[in-house]
Structures are given as structure tokens and as C-alpha cells.
Amino acid sequence: MGDWKTITVPVLSSDSQTTFPYTSERKRSPTSMSSQVLRLSLPSSKNMHSFFSAFCTEENIEQSISYIDRELTTLGFPSIYAESKGKELNLVSMVNCMNELLVLQHKNLRAQEEIEIQHLKLGSDMDHLQNCYAKLKEQLELSKREIVGLQEKDRQLQSKNRNLHQLLKNEKDEVSCFVQKLQNVISSRATQYNHDMKRKEREYNKLKERLHQLVMNKKDKKLAMEVLNYVGRADGKRGAWRTDKTEARNEEEMYKILLSDYEQRQKQLLLENTELKKVLQQMKKDIISLLPPQKQKPKERPEDGLVLSDQEEDIGELNKENMWELSCETVREQLTNSIRKQWRMLKNHVEKLDNQVSRGHSGALNEKDVISREDHELETEKLELEIQQCKEMIRTQQQLLQQQLTCDDDTTLLLQDCYLLEERERLQEEWRLFREQKKNFEKERKSFTEAAIRLGLERKAFEEDRGAWLKHQFLSMTADCKSENMTTPSAFLRSKYLVLTQTFV
């Protein structure tokens, strides 16, 4: 489209009256291109005459024609002159040129229209985008302002929070301080009180001592106890003097009492211990029996090995424990540890079963491991039937076996004889059949051999006949050969020969 710019057509003076039919008012953004497009449109029919007369007048016809011719040739059109240097116009070429120009003009106008439409579209799109952009910018501004506001609030709240925390800490410290102070006060008061009490008590003791002295002094005069007669001791024994021996005896007795008490307690505890140990061992056995036999999975094998060895160890331990006294610390620990282990395993197993049951309840029929109850029952019924049948079979077999083994000699012999008889008869039958067949075969063989002999004889006879006949023929042939004209015998001869040769082939 650069061509549009190079053509400099004399622009009309800015007549306000001139209106261009194909111009379009562009309010928003007139670009340089559009202004040029505007100006390159056709003038209206009103000023067409004046426009056209402005270029070519009566005087400069030849110049204008030559100018036009030059322009056209530069544009690529053929020359409008009839000859290259003549002044005669080639009307045909001129008309063609004019037509071409018109066509070109039309095309250009259409292109212009399209461009203008596109331009309008782009313009409206641009407007729209600008609107959106402006709106988004506003929104962005708003949100930025909001964020700033919220941040500010957040900061304030945080600072308030910090202040409150600080206050709380201070209060706590104060309170603990106060509590400490109160405790100090209490302890100080307590010590003071104790001190005072002790002082008062000492005074009181002094008074008591004094009083005691006074009382004791007074007491000597009066007889304190008046009794008709002294009563015998409760246990009937006499009173004894206080000596070291009695003191030692007292000590001894005291220790005896203590010891007996301890021994009794220890016995009780031992009994309890043995009972508990028995219970524990029983529990262990039960737990081991409850646990399922470990399957041989490769990844569990090391654990399996341990578990099995543990079980074996435990069983071995049991035997050992029964031999030794059960008061050894290590033995006790082993027992409790092994029980704990077994219990843990049992727990895991029960948990697994629980999970399975819960999965089964939640309707997981896709599980291969979980069989529905009816299937299970059916299977069990089937298995039971099978078992029954097998049992019956086994029973009958056993019976038969029993019969065999436990029969008397006579009956067995009889039985055996029976079986032998049967077999013998069968064999005889077969033999009979066999003999018959043999006889038949013999007969047939005989007949065959006879037939073969006969056949041989016949053959021989036939050979002799043939030989004789040939000889005869041959002789006859040589006799007939003299008459060559006799075709019919030759035919016959020929046919005969043919027959003969055929037979021998």
C-alpha cells in the first residue's frame, strides 16, 4: 500500500462544501494513513466537472495527454498513443486503460472499506481494552488501599496482643511472687510458732517437774494403795526379778515375734507368687495356643524364626523352671517378658481379625479372603458330606479287609477255589475259541494253498498254449507275408500281435 503515499494528486482547496461520499468521520484517533485515505477518495459529482476541468483545458490537451500517457506507462499500462512517437491516440488502448483504472479504483475502494471496517473494529477493541484496563487499575488501587488498611489493623492487633501477653506474664509473675511471699510468711510464722511453743513447753515442763517433786514428797506419807489381799497373777506364775537374763529373754521373745511375723508374711507372699506364676504360665500357654500358626512368608521369615525360637525357648524354659526354684530374677524377667511378647502378638492378631470383620461388615465382597457366611456354610456342608462318604468307603474297605484277614482257613480255601474255578472256566472257554479259530485258519490256509497250486498249474498250461499258439501264428505269418496285397489279414495279424503284446505286458 505504499503506492498510496507516492501519488501526489493535487489536493483540492479546503472547500467546506466538498463532501466526500466515502469519507468517514473519525472522531477518536485519526491516523496519518486514514487522513491520506480520506483525501484520496473521489470527489462528489457536484465538483466533478470543476475538478476535471482543472487538470485538462483546451490549451494543454497534448501536454495532459502526454502526461497521462507517461503516468500510465509508469504504472505499467500500455501506451495510449497509437504509435510510440505519434500523436494519435489509440482509442482502444485508452479505453482499456480507463477500464483498468476503473477496475483498479473499485478494488481500491473495496480494500479501503475493508480496512476502515477493520480499523473501526480495532478501535472499538482498543476502547474496550482501555476501559477494562482503567477499571482494573481502579480495582487494584482499591485493593492495595484495603491491604494497607488491613495490615495496619493487623499490626495494631498484634501489638495489643503482645501487650496483653506481657501483662499476663507480669500478673503471673506477681501472683507467683505473692504466693511465694505468702509461703514464706507461713513458714516464718510456723517457725515462730514452733519456737514459742517450745518455749512455753519448756516452761510447762519446769512447772510439771516442780509439781511432781512436791507431789512425790507429799505422797510418802500416805499409803497409796489399800488392798484386802493381793491377788494371784492371771497366769498363775510368780513374779520374777528384773535381771539381765530377763532382759535378754525379753529381747529374744520380741525378736522371735517379729521373725515369726516376717516369716508368715513371706510364706504368704511366696504362695501368692507361685500361684501368680502358675497363672502366668498357664496364660502364656493359652496365648501361644490361641495364636495362629505362623505362615511361611518370605518377609516374615526372620520374625518367624525369632518367634518360633522364642516359643521353643519358652517351652524349654518351662521345663527348666519346673526344675529350679522360681525365685531367680532373670527367670522372672524372662517369664514376664515372654508373656508380654505373646500378649502383644495376640493383640495384633485380634486387631487384624477385627479389621477383617469390620471390612466384611462394610460389604467388601470383592475381598477374596473374606467368604460370605452362606458360602462358608455351604462349603462346610459339602466338606462334611465328602467326609461322610470317605468315611463310609473306608468303613466298607475295612470290613472287607477284616473279612479277608479274619476268615477261617476252610472258607478262605473255598473262596479261593471258587475264584480259581471261575478263572479256569473262563480260560477253557477262551482256549476253545482259540482252537476253533486255529482250525478255521488252517482250513483257509489249505484252501489257499490248493488254489495257489491250481493257479500255478493253470498258468503253466496257459503258457504252454500260448507258446504253441505263437509258434503257429509265427509260422502262418511267414506264409502269408508273400501276399502283400492282402490287407485284411495283415490287419488281423496286426491285431493279433497287439493282443499278444498286450497280454504280455
Partner 1 sequence: MNFSEPFKLSGLLGRFSPDGKCLASCVQHRLLVRDASSLQILHLYTCVDQIQYLEWSSDSLFILCAMYKRGVVQVWSLEQPDWHCKIDEGSAGLVASCWSPDGRHILNTTEFHLRITVWSLCTKSVSYIKYPKACQQGVAFTKDGRYMAVAERRDCKDFISIFVCRSWQLLRHFDTETQDLFGIEWAPNGCVLAVWDTCLEYKVLLYSLDGRLLSSYRAYEWPLGIKSIAWSPSSQFLAIGSFDEKVRILNHVTWKKITELEHPATIASKQTVSVDPKSMETLAELGNGVSDAPVIVYKEVEKSPTVGTERLSFPPTRELASSLFSTQSKYDISQVPVSLQYIKPVADRANPKVGVGMLAFSADNCFLATKNGDFQITSLSWHSSGDSMLLLSKDNFCVCYLEREEVK
Q: Which residues bind partner 1 (CB under 8 A)?
A: 186, 194, 197-198, 201-202, 205, 208, 211-212, 214-215, 218-219, 222, 224-235, 239-240, 242, 246-247, 250-251, 253-255, 257-258, 261, 265, 269
Looking at the Cβ atoms of 59 and 220, the one nearer to partner 1 is 220
The least CB distance from residue 346 to partner 1, in Å, is 21
Looking at the Cβ atoms of 231 and 323, the one nearer to partner 1 is 231
Contact 463, 450 (CB under 8 A): no
Contact 37, 115 (CB under 8 A): yes
Alpha-carbon distance of 118 to 112, in angstroms, equals: 10
Does the CA dihedral 450-453-459-461 come out positive or negative?
Answer: negative
Looking at the Cβ atoms of 155 and 206, the one nearer to partner 1 is 206
Using alpha carbons, list the distances in angstroms from residue 369 to 69, 346, 357, 365, 433.
Answer: 103, 20, 11, 9, 64
Looking at the Cβ atoms of 145 and 219, the one nearer to partner 1 is 219
Looking at the Cβ atoms of 61 and 248, the one nearer to partner 1 is 248
Looking at the Cβ atoms of 151 and 246, the one nearer to partner 1 is 246
Instruction: Enumerate residues 6+ apart whose C-beta is below 8 A from 286.
Output: none
The least CB distance from residue 239 to partner 1, in Å, is 5
Alpha-carbon distance of 391 to 24, in angstroms, equals: 112
The least CB distance from residue 269 to partner 1, in Å, is 8
Using alpha carbons, list the distances in angstroms from residue 363 to 191, 356, 367, 452, 463.
Answer: 75, 11, 9, 90, 101
Alpha-carbon distance of 426 to 234, in angstroms, equals: 118
- 285-288, long-range: CB < 8 A, 24+ apart: 287/339, 287/342, 287/343, 287/345, 287/346, 288/314, 288/342
The least CB distance from residue 318 to partner 1, in Å, is 23
The least CB distance from residue 284 to partner 1, in Å, is 18
The least CB distance from residue 396 to partner 1, in Å, is 51
Looking at the Cβ atoms of 102 and 214, the one nearer to partner 1 is 214
